[in-house]
Amino acid sequence: MSYVVVLDYGSGNLRSAERALERAGASVTVTADAAAALACDGLVVPGVGAFAACMAGLRAVGGDELIAKRVAAGRPVLGICVGMQVLFAAGAEHGIQTSGCGVWPGVVERLETGALPLPHMGWNTVSFASGSSLFRGIPADTRFYFVHSYALRAEQAGGLPDTALISWTTHGERFGAAVEHGLVAATQFHPEKSGDAGFAVLSNWLGGLE
């Protein structure tokens, strides 16, 4: 059984992430303890709300440094929703740009959806990247639960490494629904709120920790 830490930095949704990971077969601890976050088989970085607030919470517990150390050591990390967004270089909200963790280049921006509503809230399919591990064995018409107004827009994805796998969703415009690069993965949707579809994604991620 893989040991997973859900990083507690004051963001919401921690317990639902914990329960979903336990359902998928992990032993889970919700904590900000640095030793546990560095030693675990997989670190999960959840996130809801504003990019700047999440980065402030991360920095307050040294979470940005923990993520950097795990990435440098080649240890698995999974970001969820704003936990995905903070892995990028920056987030732009209300005309203010906030530095992110910088694991990947790119700026997270507000979606331009035309007449479609924001936040983007509800169930959408995902165009899976070829060779994706997160979506292995999942039918192409499977829907996942999203709730967000900001994302990695397609025009910001060009700077990612050629080896990064980007899966896409469209809500007014195309945006990154998931990114996989080495042992760092992230989803803009909420696998912990996506029922059996999310269970399959988390099970696939956990399978990569063994």
Handedness of CA 116, 118, 178, 2 (dihedral sign): negative
> For this structure, is 173 an active site residue?
no
Q: Could you tell me the CA-to-CA distances from 103 to 44, 47, 53, 66, 86 in Å, in that order?
A: 15, 16, 18, 12, 9
Catalytic-role residue among 40, 54, 81, 101: 81
Residue 32, classed as helix, strand or coil, is coil
Q: Which residues are registered as beta bridge partners of 168?
A: 127, 176
Active-site residue, 190 included: yes
Q: Which of 120, 148, 171, 190 is catalytic?
A: 190
- Characterize 188-203 residue by residue with b for buried, 16 or more Cβ atoms within 10 angstroms of its Cβ, and e for exposed: bbbbbbbeebbbbbbb
Catalytic residue chosen out of the listed positions 18, 109, 180, 192: 192
Indicate if 81 belongs to the active site: yes
Catalytic site positions = 81, 190, 192
